């Protein structure tokens, strides 16, 4: 999968032919080239217009909004406030708390997900009966709507009928049913658990692609040198899958900061805003308190925080464009 | 690997016995690990399916049983009947199922046309800003939806597109086009341009060559994009939740409401969850190969 993608030529097909023909027939070539340019731009423009309309214009609007006081509940107070919203956010305890919670949520998720995904991917690349089926079933959490996954976990964590309490009691780990989501620490732990369940499959697929691209001779050589299984992993597998691990980690960090369904459905941000992740806070401020200006400033702050991982991700994951 | 090792050593020898035992242990270990992985991946979902067919009383039993003695369709029946919305007779579930189907299909159709055209231009034609185009498209993918949902709400309201199918289809282009263009481009790049050139020498126009020569060869790529788009559009929540209300409310939004606002009984939410998850799961499993290739090509490369 991976090597096939990576081995694509950097220059588009047809380029060489074009260069050759330009040597012989310069004038005819120039008009053909102009035609190709116009045609290319014409084909590419509908998608570009769509992206402009639904991403770039709103993004610019959000920036303008973030410099404004815009309370839909109190239109008479509308005004341009410059950096006012951002200054206010810098000392907004609840917003800062949501950023802390989001960081903890995302980073902890990644730290669990990556080793778990490596382990699962290694198992799924071994030879065993039913491997195709196992590899197919592993994508279930990815394909499940996030809302369904969240309400499914909420049901499992339910204090009275939840299967989590039933199982723990059956195994003698707890004496009586507990209200897990009423405890800030457990609530955070459990939404991280749900998130890891939902997000691990994609990382598994990425790691599996990378594992299958490792030439077998490397393992044979390591075997001859008497390397133990751990040494083979440490010195052969790990360095070779590290690039994909970094890409997967960055992607999960970016997505972790955008998580909305899991806390919204499972905990509603509670207890005591312990699981109020940034997206949830932004949503409540904007669409419940109707503070569109402040909400936009919050959203922009989060987007700016993600700028560094996003740029690193694009550079690492899409070397082909950077080098194009 | 397993069979190689067995062939190497003589049967009956001490080393052979130890190697065989080692192999057996390894195989048992692998199967145990596979079972563990599948239990972790599947049981939460299986539990939701079981719950959706259960009576509440049976789930209260102590000690808890994973598979109850009797099953019922009551949760599904009540979901279709009692939860009917306001003036109409169709239940909330049926109407949002229809909305989800319309929106996911519409998004897939529009995304396919736009991404094939754009990807073809990028893969085959030299046009000004081509390099910047791909880079820009990829950067767009990194913008958090929450950052643009606020102005999108304002804009859709101005154009009277709030709570409409078309409005949501347009908004979904922001989520889907970058990846769709990316996947289509990688696929088109694997199809030799010479085939098209040959058709053009025979008198076909460029667009004719695209439609009659390249596109039929690109069917796997088209399927990948279609499956991916459909699943993402069907499952999307944040935009649907903020930009629809009644007439275009999708199934995920309804389930979210069941579970937060309406406080519907858990077993019925489980039933609704099963209904909502069937289309994406069936499609994802049926086209698993295409999906995996698309996902890995979309995230990396």
Q: Do B154 and A292 touch (CB under 8 A)?
A: yes
Chain B: residue whose CA lies nearest to A33: B126
**Whole-angstrom distance, CA of residue A219 vs CA of residue A215:** 8
Alpha helices of B55-124 — where are they, by DSSP H? Answer: 56-60, 74-81, 92-124
**Whole-angstrom distance, CA of residue B152 vs CA of residue B136:** 20
Q: Do B280 and A145 touch (CB under 8 A)?
A: yes
**B130 — contact with chain A (CB < 8 Å)?**
yes
Is the distance from CB of B252 to CB of B276 less than 8 angstroms? yes
My answer on whether omega of the bond before B85 falls inside 30° of 0, hence cis, is no
Mean pLDDT, rounded, for A130-149? 93
- Give the nearest partner residue to A47 out of B63, B181, B235, using CB atoms: B181
pLDDT at A175: 81
- The 8-class DSSP code of residue A80 comes to E
Is the pLDDT reported for residue B289 higher than 50? yes
pLDDT at A5: 33
pLDDT at B297: 66
To the nearest whole angstrom, how far is the Cα of A109 from the nearest Cα of chain B? 16
Query: Contacts from A127-132 at CB under 8 Å and sequence distance 24+?
Result: A127/B1, A127/B2, A128/B27, A128/B30, A128/B31, A128/B34, A130/B34
Q: Do B269 and A151 touch (CB under 8 A)?
A: yes
What confidence category does residue A9 fall into, taking pLDDT thresholds of 50, 70 and 90?
A: very low
Mean pLDDT, rounded, for B214-233? 91
What confidence category does residue A37 fall into, taking pLDDT thresholds of 50, 70 and 90?
A: confident
- Give the nearest partner residue to B118 out of A44, A251, A261, using CB atoms: A44
Please state, in angstroms and as integers, the Cα–Cα distance from residue B7 to each residue in A222, B3, B10, B13, B19, following that order.
Answer: 21, 6, 7, 13, 10
Is the pLDDT reported for residue B8 higher than 90? no
**Mean residue pLDDT across chain A:** 85
pLDDT at A26: 53
Residues carrying CATH 1.10.3720.10, chain B: 82-299
Q: What are the φ and ψ backbone dihedral angles of A138, each rounded to 5 degrees?
A: -60, -25
Chain A: residue whose CA lies nearest to B210: A43
Is the distance from CB of A235 to CB of A186 less than 8 angstroms? no
**Whole-angstrom distance, CA of residue B227 vs CA of residue B221:** 10
DSSP string, B174-234: HHHHHHHHHHHHHHHTTS-HHHHHHHHHTT--HHHHIIIIIHHHTHHHHHHHHHHHHHHHH
Lowest mean pLDDT among A18-27, A101-110, B117-126, B139-148: A18-27
**Whole-angstrom distance, CA of residue B92 vs CA of residue B103:** 16
Quote the ipTM score: 0.86
Using alpha carbons only, give the angle A210, A211, A215 rounded to the nearest 5 degrees: 105
Task: Pull the structure tokens for residue B6.
Answer: 């067995």
Element (H, E) at A121: helix A93-125
What confidence category does residue A176 fall into, taking pLDDT thresholds of 50, 70 and 90?
A: confident
Is the distance from CB of B100 to CB of B251 less than 8 angstroms? yes
**Whole-angstrom distance, CA of residue B173 vs CA of residue A47:** 9
**Whole-angstrom distance, CA of residue A256 vs CA of residue A103:** 8
CATH superfamily of B82-299: MetI-like (1.10.3720.10)
Is the distance from CB of A177 to CB of A169 less than 8 angstroms? yes
Task: Based on DSSP, count helices (H) and strands (E) in chain A, helices before strands.
Answer: 19, 2
Is the distance from CB of B208 to CB of B195 less than 8 angstroms? no
Which residues, numbered 52 to 91 in chain A, qualify as contacts with chain B under a Cβ-Cβ cut-off of 8 Å? 53-59, 61-62, 65
Chain A: residue whose CA lies nearest to B196: A14
pLDDT at B69: 78
Residue range A13-32, pLDDT digits in tens: 333 334 444 444 455 667 77
Query: What domains are defined for chain A?
Result: 7-66 (no CATH), 91-322 (1.10.3720.10)
Residue range A49-92, pLDDT digits in tens: 998 889 999 999 999 999 988 888 888 888 888 888 999 999 99
Please state, in angstroms and as integers, the Cα–Cα distance from residue A37 to each residue in A41, A309, B27, B157, B196, following that order.
Answer: 6, 34, 59, 37, 18
Is the pLDDT reported for residue B66 higher than 80? no
Estimate the crossing angle of helix B92-124 against helix B130-140, to 10 degrees: 150
Q: Residue A80's beta-bridge partner residues?
A: A68
Burial A256-274 (b: 16+ CB within 10 A, else e): bbbbbbbbbbbbbbebebb
Q: Do B177 and A65 touch (CB under 8 A)?
A: no
To the nearest whole angstrom, how far is the Cα of B88 from the nearest Cα of chain A? 26
**Whole-angstrom distance, CA of residue A56 vs CA of residue B148:** 9
Chain A: residue whose CA lies nearest to B267: A155
**B301 — contact with chain A (CB < 8 Å)?**
yes
């Amino acid at each position: 999968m991976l090597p096939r993608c990576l081995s694509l030529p950097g220059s588009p097909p047809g380029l060489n032919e074009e260069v050759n023909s330009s040597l012989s027939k310069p004038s005819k070539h120039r008009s053909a080239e102009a035609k190709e340019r116009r045609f290319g731009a014409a084909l590419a423009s509908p998608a570009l217009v769509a992206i402009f309309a639904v991403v770039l214009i709103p993004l610019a609007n959000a920036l303008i909004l973030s410099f404004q006081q815009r309370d839909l509940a109190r239109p008479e107070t509308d005004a341009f406030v410059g950096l006012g919203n951002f200054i206010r956010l810098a000392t907004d305890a609840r917003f800062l708390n949501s950023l802390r919670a989001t960081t903890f949520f995302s980073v902890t998720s990644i730290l669990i997900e990556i080793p778990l995904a490596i382990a699962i991917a290694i198992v799924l690349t071994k030879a065993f009966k039913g491997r195709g089926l196992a590899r197919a079933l592993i994508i279930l959490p990815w394909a499940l709507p996030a809302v369904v996954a969240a309400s499914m976990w909420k049901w499992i964590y339910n204090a009275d009928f939840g299967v989590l309490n039933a199982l723990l009691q059956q195994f003698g780990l707890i004496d009586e049913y507990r209200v897990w989501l009423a405890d800030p620490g457990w609530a955070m732990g459990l939404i991280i658990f749900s998130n890891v369940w939902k997000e691990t499959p994609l990382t598994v697929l990425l790691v599996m692609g990378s594992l299958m691209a490792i030439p077998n001779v490397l393992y044979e050589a390591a075997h001859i040198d008497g390397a133990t299984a751990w040494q083979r992993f440490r010195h052969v597998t790990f360095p070779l899958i590290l690039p994909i691990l970094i890409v997967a980690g960055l992607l999960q960090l970016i997505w972790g900061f955008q998580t909305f369904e899991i806390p919204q459905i499972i905990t509603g941000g509670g207890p005591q805003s312990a699981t109020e992740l940034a997206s949830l806070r932004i949503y409540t401020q904007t669409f419940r308190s109707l503070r569109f200006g402040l909400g936009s400033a919050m959203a922009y702050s989060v987007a700016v925080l993600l700028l560094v991982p996003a740029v690193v991700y694009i550079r690492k994951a899409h070397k082909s464009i950077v080098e194009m | 690997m397993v069979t190689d090792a067995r062939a190497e050593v003589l049967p009956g020898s001490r080393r052979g016995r130890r190697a065989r035992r080692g192999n057996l242990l390894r195989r048992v270990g692998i199967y145990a690990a596979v079972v563990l992985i599948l239990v972790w991946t599947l049981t939460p979902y299986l539990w939701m399916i079981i719950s959706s067919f259960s009576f509440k009383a049976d789930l209260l039993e102590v000690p808890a049983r994973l598979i109850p003695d009797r099953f019922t369709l009551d949760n599904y029946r009540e979901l279709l009947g009692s939860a009917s919305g306001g003036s109409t007779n169709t239940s909330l579930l049926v109407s949002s199922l229809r909305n989800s189907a319309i929106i996911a299909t519409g998004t897939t159709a529009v995304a396919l046309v736009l991404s094939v055209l754009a990807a073809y231009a990028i893969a085959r034609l030299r046009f000004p800003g081509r390099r910047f185009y791909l880079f820009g498209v990829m950067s767009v993918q990194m913008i958090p939806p929450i950052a643009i949902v606020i102005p999108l709400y304002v804009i859709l309201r101005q154009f009277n597109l709030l709570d409409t199918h078309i409005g949501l289809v347009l908004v979904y282009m922001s989520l889907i086009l970058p990846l769709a263009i990316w996947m289509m481009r990688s696929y088109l790049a694997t199809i030799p341009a010479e085939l098209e050139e040959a058709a053009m020498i025979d008198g076909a126009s460029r667009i004719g060559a695209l439609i009659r020569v390249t596109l039929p060869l690109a069917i796997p790529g088209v399927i990948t994009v279609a499956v991916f788009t459909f699943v993402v559009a069907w499952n999307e929540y944040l935009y649907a939740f903020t930009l629809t209300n009644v007439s275009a409310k999708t199934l995920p939004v309804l389930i979210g409401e069941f579970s937060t606002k309406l406080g519907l009984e858990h077993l019925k939410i489980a039933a609704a969850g099963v209904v909502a998850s069937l289309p994406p799961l069936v499609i994802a499993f049926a086209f698993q190969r295409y999906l995996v290739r698309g996902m890995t090509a979309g995230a990396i490369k």
